[in-house]
């Protein structure tokens, strides 16, 4: 339905630009609050904007009405912004998606030794389901995890691993790649931790540091450079994507 590279949000008619938004303002409910909500909506580019719902939060009385200090709003309207698809820099896969057999073959014939992969959840993050989904045999979304790949030597260090320990282990085991998961994002914990990770490896190993791959549901794949790591995977990543990337990044092209 999009003509060319410029599109707008679609409510029920091409180009109507309709969006829904909701937010809370630290203002008691009332006309002033509604006006404030409209002001914000307009600043977001929603014009005309309709405050279609509002209610107080935190007031006395069971229903949180009276004397509420906050107001929650639902706003509908048309954003004037245009979306330029041409300007979208996509993290399209820059490498082919390989089957486990292909991955193993590539490593065996072109790297000629098994690929050493370390995985962990750093800091105080105890969410292992994500990294397990990538590493464990069981895998994710029907794809087997990296442990299933014959030519990979995978060690899953689990959760709450200190960065220092991780660096040490990586050096000892001559890891080719270190895979780190970060799920808790409150106060950008995941970004801080990732930067700390990158820093520590640079410190300790400089150029010879292993490939650094981080992942988690709230990461933006476009942030790798900014975070000082080689690759970032977001929500819904599958083991196959990761394996394919590792081959792409670590296994020399076959020279023809």
Q: Residue 8 CB, nearest distance to other proteins (Å)? A: 13
* Residue 213 interface partner, choices other proteins, ligand B12, a second copy, none, CB cut-off 5-8 Å depending on type: ligand B12
11 contacts 18 by C-beta, under 8 angstroms = yes
Dist. CA 102–CA 187, nearest whole Å: 41
193 contacts 186 by C-beta, under 8 angstroms = no
Q: Residue 31 CB, nearest distance to a second copy (Å)? A: 5
Q: How far is CA 45 from CA 76, 80, 114, in A?
A: 12, 6, 54
User: Encoding tokens for residue 51?
Assistant: 């405050």
Nearer to other proteins, 12 or 172 (CB): 12
Token pair 């970032």 in the structure block, residue: 232
Closest CA to 179 of 241, 231, 234: 231
The residue from 43, 108, 138, 144 that is catalytic is 138
Dist. CA 46–CA 81, nearest whole Å: 9
50 binds other proteins (CB under 8 A): yes
Dist. CA 109–CA 253, nearest whole Å: 11
128 binds ligand B12 (CB under 6 A): yes
- The interface region with ligand B12, picked from 95-103, 105-113, 165-173, 208-216 by CB under 6 A, is 208-216
Residues noted as catalytic = 138
* Residues making contact with ligand B12 (CB under 6 A): 124-131, 133-134, 140, 179-181, 183-186, 213-218, 233, 235-237, 242
* Residues making contact with a second copy (CB under 8 A): 1-2, 7, 9-11, 14, 18-27, 31-32, 35-36, 38-40, 43-46, 48, 50, 52, 69-70, 79, 81, 83-85, 87-92, 218, 220-222, 235
């Amino acid at each position: 339905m999009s003509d060319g590279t410029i599109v707008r949000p679609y409510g029920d008619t091409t180009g109507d630009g309709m969006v829904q938004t909701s937010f809370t303002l630290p203002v008691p409910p009332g006309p002033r609050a509604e006006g404030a909500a409209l002001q914000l909506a307009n600043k977001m580019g929603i014009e005309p904007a309709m405050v279609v719902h509002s209610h107080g939060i935190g007031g006395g009385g069971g229903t949180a009405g009276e004397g509420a200090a906050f107001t929650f709003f639902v706003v509908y309207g048309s954003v004037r912004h245009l979306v330029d698809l041409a300007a979208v820099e996509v993290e399209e896969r820059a490498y082919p998606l390989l089957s486990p057999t292909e991955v193993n073959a590539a490593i065996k014939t072109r790297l000629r030794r098994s690929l050493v992969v370390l995985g962990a959840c750093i800091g105080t993050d105890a969410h292992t389901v994500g990294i397990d989904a990538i590493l464990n045999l069981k895998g994710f979304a029907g794809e087997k995890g990296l442990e299933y790949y014959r030519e990979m030597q995978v060690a899953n260090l689990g959760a709450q691993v200190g960065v220092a320990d991780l660096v040490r282990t990586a050096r000892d085991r001559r890891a080719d790649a270190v895979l780190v998961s970060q799920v808790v994002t409150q106060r950008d914990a995941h970004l801080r931790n990732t930067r700390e990770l990158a820093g520590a490896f640079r410190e300790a190993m400089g150029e010879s540091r292993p490939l650094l791959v981080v992942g988690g549901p709230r990461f933006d794949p476009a942030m790798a450079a900014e975070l000082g790591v080689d690759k970032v995977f977001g929500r819904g990543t599958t083991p196959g994507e990761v394996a394919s990337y590792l081959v792409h990044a670590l296994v020399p092209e076959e020279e023809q």
